[in-house]
Amino acid sequence: MLVQIAWRNIWRNKIRSLVIIIAVILGLWGGIFSDAFMQGMAEQQVYSSIHTETGHLQLNAPGFLLNHDMQLRIGDADSVVEQINRLPETEAAAATIQITAMASTASSSTGIIVNGIAPDTYAKVSDISKLMVNGDYFKNDRKNMVVVGQQLADKLRVKLHSRIVLTLQTVTGDIIYGAFKIEGIYRTHNSEFDKQMIYVQKDDLQSLVGFPSGAASLVRVLLQKDDDTKEVAEKLRSQFPAEQVQTWIELSPMQQVLSGTMTQMTIIFVGIILIALAFGIVNTMLMAVMDRTREIGMLLSIGMRPSKVFGMIVLETVFLSLTGAVVGILISIGTIYWFGKSGINLSMIAQGANAMGYNSVVYPALGAGFYFQLAIMVVVVAIIAGLIPARRAIRLKPAEAVRGD
Amino acid sequence: MKQIIILAWRNLWRNRRRTMITLASVFMAVILAIAIRSLQKGVYASMISNAVRFSTGYIQVHAKGYWDDQNINNSFEYDPSLSAVFQKNKDISLYVPRLESFALASSGPHTKGVAVTGIDPEKEDEMNGLAKKIIEGDYFNSQPQQGILIGDGLAEYLQLHLGDTLVLLGQGYHGATAAGQFPIQGIFHYPLDQMNNTMVFLSLPDAQLLFGAENSLTSISLMLQNENAISSAKEFIEKHVDSTYEVMEWPAMNKTLVQEIQGDNAGGIIMLGILYLVVAFGVFGTILMMTMERKKEFAAMIAVGMRRFKLTFMVIFETIFIGLIGIVSGTLIILPILIYFHRHPVALTGAAAETYQQFGIEPVMPASLDPSIFLYQGITVLCIAILSAFYPLWYINRIPVAGTLKQ
Amino acid sequence: MKKLFFIPLVALLFSFGKTTQQPSADEIVRKANDLMMGRSSQSIATMTVIRPSWTRTVSMKTWSLGNDYYMVQITAPAQDKGQVFLKRFNEMWNWMPNISRIIRIPPSMMGQNWMGSDFTNNDLVKANSIVNDYTHRILGNETTDGYDCYKIEFSPKPNAAVVWDKIIAWIAKDKYFMLKSEFYNEDGELVNRETQSDIKYFDDRDLPSKLVMTPVKEKGKQTILEFQKLNFNISLKPTFFSQQNMKNIH
């Protein structure tokens, strides 16, 4: 009976009900969307780090990363790659030669790191091939072509088809020069990366410095799932005890710092939005109750027990919040899906942030579990928020209430 | 008009409950908006402060043209009147002199290019805690003869230990050859590989002697008490030094950091926008309900002869009053809370905190007390309140008097 | 009858060929290079580095064998005296007497200026590259400095590891002095100009005694190399050019 009354009450005053429903929708959407947004930002950085910079895992001779000493290498890299490819969690693995060198033009020179890669295989472990802004990524098999970052091209003042001279050391310690032509220019989110990393065909580098064939400086591994990283790292450490195996977390300590801060900030923000929501509902309900003083007074004076009036108001709040929650979730799913596909372009909001692309496009994303967590939180908050005005309502003295104000 | 204003004011207090509820919605909106923005700005300020501490400082003074062409020939001779200028400005908390150049570090068959920095040991440590990073041996002391400090990565590569001799070879001032031998006095460790593998430190006099650049510096880095005073400090310095110097703020010297912060800031603005949507609706909803509750009151006033447009103004003034009171009270309440969190910031936990600590950075999220936060959020909330008032205005102009009175 | 006519005609053609036969561009460049290097050489020289706010003069003795071996000993000023630079093929070493060390110049230093001048370590090491790393083409004749010169264009060979996209050189006919060279980058901009002048008779040949390198786009910068003494084809062996010897030569 009470349920029917509550239900009808809701429809009687459409505007009032609508206001409460919208408040719940907004609060829920606000909480969910901001959570998704911040997750999107964090995932963006992690994705970038893994797919562009380090892969999930890297193997190299112990101490190699200290100074890129050419003498520290994986002798049987090809067989290592083969063995890693046999693991079920592996997406792909690639052996790379990495050497420090100087890149020179007529007017300037700078220190860089040369990566000798097998372009097709490498494209499976790194998305550098998709980040080209100019030219091609090793389209054909021409010798002595190089792919450089936009930042480096700017620093050396070169462009597509320009020639740069690399000064390197051979494995026997002699100095050797190599002329390379710029086939393509890439750009990532990390300008330091762009300034340093250049890519050439493994064969070209091998013949230039006399790197033994079949050997490599490091093996880069991409897994199918981020979560498998630690497990596979352990497997590889026992399978290849002579090599150093590092996860992307170990390779990019700054990542950890950034994601940690992000997570904590998210919690605080979502908390604040929930406070805003709760408050909005309390307020609206309070006002609504004031609006209904006469009506409530009427009910009390015809003998309805205060506890029943309380129950009625609580039920109304429950219906309204549930409705709001359902619609809110649907809208949230919709907007997150839509923005998740098209991305939110931050550079339109903060000027200059930016053409260089530090996370300028964010794809909001949220696990299903989060939706329910937040929805439940919001509904609970709404109901609790509705209790306060309900208690007020039943305290009204019937005579006063009937008289109105 | 004056009558209407008085009426508006009296109306507020006639129905306390209603006013309080509406006030509360504005109050909460202000508090939450200020709180979020303060936290965001606090975190950015702390990001900047940490980044500049480990690199250029907030402001750097060089010989003109040094930044674009960084070599020892563009150093400047240290003039004590410069320190006087820095000391005169209350916002400048520390000035750190350096002589930086490039050299080859050699030991046995291994040679490696390194960045050599001549430092004032006390000041450098005050700026970025270098002394605490020493894991073996000692930091510089006040003895006349000092050695060299190198990173553990470099020590490993060159296979050197404490007490071994490191040879530095490079180009000195005006093309003269720079060559010197130094005993390794201390070995340091930074969480950043780059610093461990490529940086070495000498005392300033030793570096000046090595490069043949007597009494010269390549830069003076400045740290500030108040990070919002960068522009004014820069202007102050420029006024007091001649044109042979260039004075640069950190954004010009660290474009990557600027981009990172702008990126984060953009995200922050979206978050703030979402919050505003929620609170704006809270304010609007409250005012909407209030309007509905006062249907009869409005109808009665029109019936006894008040012109609709006067009623409109009355409601506008009521809203302005509520807005202002709400904003002022909200600001007053949140201010002490923010001051507390400014002095005792929220702590970070987990792996992030650990890495911060390895750097020697406090793992916290401080609140910012930048006055512009209060100003902007206050104005925005006032606008929200006034915009919300449009509903009652619209309502008043359409209300069918007789019908309403009959209800 | 025809045969009689034929032979003188052929002889005439032959003689015509001979007198109008000018050397190929490659030959011209090779001869110019040989003139400066000889099979071996020894010299005493000074280098003056000019900058907008300072000038520095360095005195040195040099030895060379072919294009692969080169040694320079600094004799003045006092702070640099005794330093020796050794080049063997693509490698370069530096002996520093005041710290008693021989340092090998790594790739990262090859682009650095040598002794603060407008020559890089690279320039010292790859002296022969103008012959081997470029194809040569005669553009025409021009008069420079009172000499009638071949104007020759150098274009880098496909895989040549050189930074210049084009060099134009004015080489005196008959004498083969490389009087002027202009170095261009990929955008076709003139970056460096080198002039040789003050012809003197050294040992067994005429050679410019003064070489000036000017970075064209930077005001007030120049490096001047002046030879006081030059001897050619002296008996030098590869063993002379050793790290051990760096410490011993006088």
Give the model's pLDDT for residue A355.
Answer: 39
Strand partners for A246: A58
If DSSP codes are grouped into helix, strand and coil, which group holds residue A246?
Answer: strand
Give the model's pLDDT for residue A378.
Answer: 73
- Residue of C72, C112, C217 to mutate, testing the B interface (most B Cβ within 10 Å of its Cβ): C112
Strand partners for A15: none
More confident residue, A5 or A231: A231
How far is residue B174's CA from residue B73's CA, in Å, rounded to a whole number?
6
How many residues would you count in chain A? 405
What tens digit of pLDDT does each residue of B1-42 get? 788 888 888 888 887 877 888 888 888 888 888 988 898 888
Question: Could you tell me which of B35, B66, B94 has the C-alpha nearest to residue B374?
Answer: B35
Chain C interface includes B177 (CB < 8 A) = yes
CB atoms within 10 A of CB A62: 10
Give the model's pLDDT for residue C14.
Answer: 47
What tens digit of pLDDT does each residue of A257-285 get? 666 676 777 778 878 877 887 777 777 77
The whole-angstrom distance between C220's CA and the closest CA on chain B is 14
Q: CB-based contacts of B99: which residues, under 8 Å, 6+ apart?
A: B72, B75, B117, B118, B204, B207, B208, B211, B213, B216, B217, B218
Mode of pairing for the β-strands spanning B177-188 and B148-151: parallel
Question: Could you tell me which of A318, A332, A314 has the C-alpha nearest to residue A392?
Answer: A314
The yes-or-no verdict on residue C247 having pLDDT over 80 is yes
Sign of CA dihedral B275, B279, B285, B287: negative
CB atoms within 10 A of CB B239: 9
At C21, the pLDDT band (50, 70, 90 cuts) reads low
Which of the 8 DSSP states describes residue A134? E
What tens digit of pLDDT does each residue of B87-127 get? 988 899 999 999 999 888 888 777 788 899 999 999 999 99
Question: Could you tell me which of B2, B95, B4, B77 has the C-alpha nearest to residue B309?
Answer: B4
Q: Which long-range contacts (CB under 8 A, 24 or more apart) does C72-80 make?
A: C72/C124, C73/C249, C74/C115, C79/B176, C79/B177, C79/B212, C80/B176, C80/B177, C80/C115
Percent of chain A residues topping a pLDDT of 90: 25
B252-280: average pLDDT: 80
At B407, the pLDDT band (50, 70, 90 cuts) reads low
At B54, the pLDDT band (50, 70, 90 cuts) reads confident
Chain C interface includes A175 (CB < 8 A) = yes
**Ramachandran angles phi, psi of A91, nearest 5°:** -90, -50
More confident residue, C8 or B1: B1
How confident is the prediction for chain B on average, in pLDDT?
A: 86
A228-240: average pLDDT: 91
Question: Could you tell me which of A158, A151, A157, A208 has the C-alpha nearest to residue A183?
Answer: A158
How far is residue B254's CA from residue B259's CA, in Å, rounded to a whole number?
9
In the stretch 198-217 of chain C, residues with CB closer than 8 A to chain A read none
What tens digit of pLDDT does each residue of C186-235 get? 888 899 999 999 999 988 888 999 999 999 988 899 999 999 999 998 88
The yes-or-no verdict on residue B359 having pLDDT over 80 is no
Contact predicate C237/C245, CB 8 Å: no
Name chain B contacts of A244, Cβ cutoff 8 Å: none
More confident residue, A388 or B385: B385
In the stretch 290-329 of chain A, residues with CB closer than 8 A to chain C read none
C53-78: average pLDDT: 90
The whole-angstrom distance between B4's CA and the closest CA on chain A is 22
Q: Which long-range contacts (CB under 8 A, 24 or more apart) does B75-79 make?
A: B75/B99, B75/B173, B75/B213, B75/B216, B75/B217, B75/B218, B76/B216, B76/B217, B76/B218, B76/B244, B76/B245, B77/B214, B77/B215, B77/B216, B77/B217, B78/B215, B78/B216, B78/B217
- Are B157 and A354 in contact (CB < 8 Å)? no
How far is residue B20's CA from residue B333's CA, in Å, rounded to a whole number?
16
The yes-or-no verdict on residue B400 having pLDDT over 80 is no
CA C38-C39-C41 angle, 5° bins: 65
The yes-or-no verdict on residue A357 having pLDDT over 50 is no
Q: CB-based contacts of A183: which residues, under 8 Å, 6+ apart?
A: A135, A136, A137, A138, A139, A142, A145, A146, A147, A160
Q: CB-based contacts of B12: which residues, under 8 Å, 6+ apart?
A: B19, B318, B321, B322
Cis check for the bond before C77: say yes or no (omega within 30 of 0): yes
Give the model's pLDDT for residue C250.
Answer: 63
A89-93: average pLDDT: 91
Question: Could you tell me which of A314, A315, A311, A310 has the C-alpha nearest to residue A394?
Answer: A310
Question: If residue B192 lies in a helix (H) or strand (E), which one and from where to where?
Answer: none
Strand partners for A180: A164
The yes-or-no verdict on residue A349 having pLDDT over 60 is no
How far is residue B395's CA from residue C8's CA, in Å, rounded to a whole number?
121
How far is residue C201's CA from residue C35's CA, in Å, rounded to a whole number?
12
Surface-to-core class of residue C107, CB atoms within 10 Å of its CB (0-12 exposed, 13-18 middle, 19+ buried): buried
Name chain C contacts of B113, Cβ cutoff 8 Å: 106, 108-109
How far is residue B376's CA from residue B199's CA, in Å, rounded to a whole number?
44
The whole-angstrom distance between A210's CA and the closest CA on chain C is 16
Give the model's pLDDT for residue A356.
Answer: 37
Query: What pTM did the predictor assign?
Result: 0.77
Q: Which of A60-74, B168-182, B200-214 has the highest mean pLDDT?
A: B200-214
What tens digit of pLDDT does each residue of A23-36 get? 888 888 888 888 78
How far is residue B272's CA from residue B278's CA, in Å, rounded to a whole number?
10
Give the model's pLDDT for residue A82.
Answer: 92
If DSSP codes are grouped into helix, strand and coil, which group holds residue B177?
Answer: strand
Percent of chain B residues topping a pLDDT of 90: 28
The yes-or-no verdict on residue A228 having pLDDT over 80 is yes
The yes-or-no verdict on residue B226 having pLDDT over 80 is yes
Percent of chain C residues topping a pLDDT of 70: 90
Place of tokens 């496909």: C158
Q: Which of A382-396, B30-44, B353-367 has the highest mean pLDDT?
A: B30-44
Which of the 8 DSSP states describes residue C59? E
Q: Which of A85-99, A328-342, C71-85 has the lowest mean pLDDT?
A: A328-342
How far is residue A189's CA from residue B259's CA, in Å, rounded to a whole number?
10
At B394, the pLDDT band (50, 70, 90 cuts) reads confident
How confident is the prediction for chain A on average, in pLDDT?
A: 82
Give the tokens for residue A164: 């740069």
Mode of pairing for the β-strands spanning C91-96 and C84-88: antiparallel
Chain C interface includes B183 (CB < 8 A) = no
At B290, the pLDDT band (50, 70, 90 cuts) reads confident
Contact predicate B140/B203, CB 8 Å: yes
If DSSP codes are grouped into helix, strand and coil, which group holds residue C47?
Answer: strand
Contact predicate C164/C180, CB 8 Å: no
- Are C108 and A174 in contact (CB < 8 Å)? no
Residue of C nearest to A145 (CA): C159
How far is residue A312's CA from residue A6's CA, in Å, rounded to a whole number?
5
More confident residue, A48 or C95: C95
Name chain B contacts of A26, Cβ cutoff 8 Å: 277-278, 281
The yes-or-no verdict on residue B60 having pLDDT over 90 is yes
A212-236: average pLDDT: 91
Question: If residue C129 lies in a helix (H) or strand (E), which one and from where to where?
Answer: helix C129-132
Contact predicate A229/A90, CB 8 Å: no
Mode of pairing for the β-strands spanning A175-186 and A145-149: parallel
What tens digit of pLDDT does each residue of A103-147 get? 888 777 888 999 999 999 999 999 999 889 999 999 888 889 999
Name chain A contacts of B279, Cβ cutoff 8 Å: 276, 280
Q: How distant, in Å, are the alpha carbons of B96, B97, B252, B361 from that of B127?
A: 8, 11, 20, 12
The yes-or-no verdict on residue B317 having pLDDT over 60 is yes
C121-149: average pLDDT: 85
Nearest to B169 among C80, C103, C113 (CB): C103
- Are B350 and A358 in contact (CB < 8 Å)? no
- Are C107 and A101 in contact (CB < 8 Å)? yes
Name chain C contacts of B104, Cβ cutoff 8 Å: 103, 106, 109
Question: Could you tell me which of C56, C95, C99, C117 has the C-alpha nearest to residue C247?
Answer: C95
The yes-or-no verdict on residue A351 having pLDDT over 50 is no
Contact predicate A19/B288, CB 8 Å: yes
- Are B356 and A257 in contact (CB < 8 Å)? yes
Residue of C nearest to A102 (CA): C108
Give the model's pLDDT for residue A352.
Answer: 41
Contact predicate A67/B157, CB 8 Å: yes
Give the model's pLDDT for residue C67.
Answer: 83
Q: Which of A43-52, B176-185, B268-277 has the highest mean pLDDT?
A: B176-185
Chain A interface includes C124 (CB < 8 A) = no
Q: CB-based contacts of A395: which residues, under 8 Å, 6+ apart?
A: none
Name chain C contacts of A176, Cβ cutoff 8 Å: 90
What residue type is B31 in one-letter code? Answer: I
Q: Which of A285-294, B7-16, C28-37, C55-64 has the lowest mean pLDDT?
A: A285-294
Chain C interface includes B73 (CB < 8 A) = yes
The yes-or-no verdict on residue A353 having pLDDT over 70 is no
Q: How distant, in Å, are the alpha carbons of A355, B265, B399, C153, C159 from that of B254?
A: 16, 17, 61, 44, 38
The yes-or-no verdict on residue A403 having pLDDT over 70 is no
Give the tokens for residue A138: 């090793």
Cis check for the bond before C94: say yes or no (omega within 30 of 0): no
A62-76: average pLDDT: 86
What tens digit of pLDDT does each residue of B227-263 get? 888 999 999 999 999 889 999 999 988 877 777 777 7
Q: Where does B257-397 show beta strands of DSSP type E?
A: 346-347, 364-365
Q: CB-based contacts of A23: which residues, under 8 Å, 6+ apart?
A: A277, A280, A281, A284, A324, B281, B282, B285
How far is residue B78's CA from residue B223's CA, in Å, rounded to a whole number?
19
Give the model's pLDDT for residue A354.
Answer: 43
